[in-house]
A and B are shown apart, each in its own frame.
Chain A
Amino acid sequence: MLTISNISCVRGHKPLFAPVSFSLLDGQALHLEGDNGVGKTSLLRIICGLSPADSGEVLWNGVALNRQHPEVVEAFRASLCYVGHNLSLKDELTPIENLLFDAQVTGHSLSREKGMDALRKMGLNNRTHLPLRVLSQGQKRRTALARLSVTDAKLWVLDEPFVALDPQSLDYLRAILANHVQQGGLLLFSSHQLVELSQPNGHAMDVRPIRLVAA
C-alpha cells in the first residue's frame, strides 16, 4: 500500500500545487490529472524518492520512506518500476541490450528470451538488432515500456506513458496495465488523455482520478 500524506512542493519560493493526499491499495489504479506545469512530474518524482518533498511524507505499507527506515526504502525501491520522461535508454545500444542492462542494474534478472519476447509483443520484432538512435520516438518509448512486461515490480509509476504510441501499442499497453492491476499490482500514472483500462473480459476497469490543482 502506498500512502501520500499532505505532500507539497515548492519551486522558486512558490508552492507548485495544493497539498495532496491519497492512498493506493493493492489492485488499484490511479490517474493523476492536471494542467501543464502544475507539478505532475514533480509529484511522481517525489513519490519515487528522486526529489524531496517540502512537507508531508510518502508511506510504503504504512512506514514512512525516509532516512530512519533504510530497509523500507530498499524494499520500496525493489518493488518500484518508474518510467519517466527521460527513458533511460542508450542510443548506441540495441533495444534488447537496453532492456537486459536496465533489468540487471535495477536488481532484476532477465533472460534474453524473455526480453526478446517482451520486445516482440511491443511490436519491435524486426528492430531488436538496430541501435536505438535509428529508431523513431514511438519505438523508443515502446522499448522503455517493454520493461513493464518483464519487471516483477509491484508498484508502477508511469509519467505520461501513452504519449507517442500508435493505436496497436496503445491497446497492448492498456492490456498489460489492466493485467498488472488485476493481479494485485499498484499503478500510478499521469496522463492528459482520458484512458480507459479494459479488463480481459471487456469490462472497463476502475481507475481513480486525482486532480492536481495549482496552489
Chain B
Amino acid sequence: MIWQAFWAVVQRDLLLAWRRKSEGLSAVFFFVVVAALFPLGIGPELNVLRNIAPGVLWVGALLSSMLALQRLFDADYRDGTLEQMALSPVAMPLLIGAKMLAHWLVSGLPLVLLAPVLGLQFDLSGDALGTLTLALLVGTPILSLVGGVGAALTLGVRGGGVLLSLLVLPLFVPVLVFGAGAVEAQVSGLGVQAHLSILMAMLLPAVFFGPLASAFALRIALE
C-alpha cells in the first residue's frame, strides 16, 4: 500500500507535467538560453570559455531549478491535494519524497541530459563532459530536495518567490562549489573522486531529511 501510494504520486505528477508541458519546458529552455548566451557574449576565446564552462553551466542549472521550485507545492496547496496527502494513512514524508522525485525527473534530469550538448559550445573535452554530467546527476537531486524544503517553508507567503531564492540559493553554494569544482579538477588533471564523493555525501542526508523537513513545514502551512 505504501509503495503503491508513492508511485501513484510520482505517476500523477509526471502526468500533470506532461499535460502542462509549457511549465516544465520553460525552465529547461531557460537553462539552454543562459548557457548559450555566454559563448556568444564572450566571443570565441577557447581558453576563457573552457575555464568558465563549469561555473556557467552549474549556475544556469541552479537558476533554472529555482524557477521550477516555486511550482513544486503551489498547485497542490491551492486545490486541496496537500490536505488529502496530510490526511492519508501513508506517512506524509514519503508522499512528499515522491513529489520531489517527480519534480527532479521533470526539471533536473533534462538538465543532466542537455549539459553535455551545451558543454560542447565551451570546447570541453569528452572527459570533462562526462564529469560534468556525472556531477549534475548527483548534484541536481540535492537542488530538488533542499529547494523543496524552502518551497514548503515559503508556501502561501506573499512574494514567496523572492523569499524562496534568498532562502535557498545560499544553501546551494556547497553544491555549486563541489559540482563545478569536479569539472575543473578533471580539466586540470586532478582526480574528480573527492568532489563527487562530497557531492554524494551531501545527497544522502538530503534524501533522508529533505522530505521529512518539507512534510513538517507543509503541515504548518496547512494549519
Contacts and interface: CB of A to CB of B under 8 A. Distances in A.
A57 interface: no
Interface string B4-16: 1100110110011
A82 B87 contact: yes
Q: Identify which of A49, A82, A90 gathers the most chain B CB atoms within 10 Å of its CB.
A: A90
Contacts, number: 82
A134 to B, nearest CB: 13
B7 to A, nearest CB: 8
B80 A86 contact: yes
Contacts of A48: 87
Nearest to A90: B16
B125 interface: no
A86 B84 CA distance: 10
Contacts of A92: 15-16, 19-20
B20 A105 contact: no
Interface stretch (A72-80, A164-172, A194-202): A72-80
Contacts of A97: 15
B222 to A, nearest CB: 6
Contacts of A49: 86-87
Interface residues of B, number: 27
A88 B82 CA distance: 8
Interface SS of chain A: loop
B80 A106 contact: no
A166 to B, nearest CB: 23
Given A104-B5, A105-B95, A88 B80 contact: yes
Contacts of A85: 80
B5 A107 contact: yes
B162 interface: no
Interface in A112-143: 131
Contacts of A80: 87
A15 interface: no
B128 interface: no
Given A50-B223, A52-B223, A90 B86 contact: no
A109 B15 CA distance: 19
Given A86-B80, A88-B84, A90-B12, A106 B223 contact: no
30 contacts: A48-B87, A50-B83, A52-B223, A75-B89, A77-B87, A82-B84, A82-B87, A84-B80, A86-B78, A87-B79, A88-B80, A88-B81, A89-B80, A90-B16, A90-B81, A92-B16, A93-B12, A93-B15, A93-B16, A104-B4, A104-B5, A105-B9, A105-B84, A106-B84, A106-B89, A106-B90, A107-B1, A107-B5, A107-B88, A109-B1
Interface of B: 1, 4-5, 8-9, 11-12, 15-16, 19-20, 75, 78-81, 83-90, 95, 222-223
Q: Which 10 A-B pairs have the closest CB atoms?
A: A86-B80, A104-B8, A92-B19, A88-B80, A78-B89, A77-B89, A51-B223, A101-B12, A88-B84, A107-B89
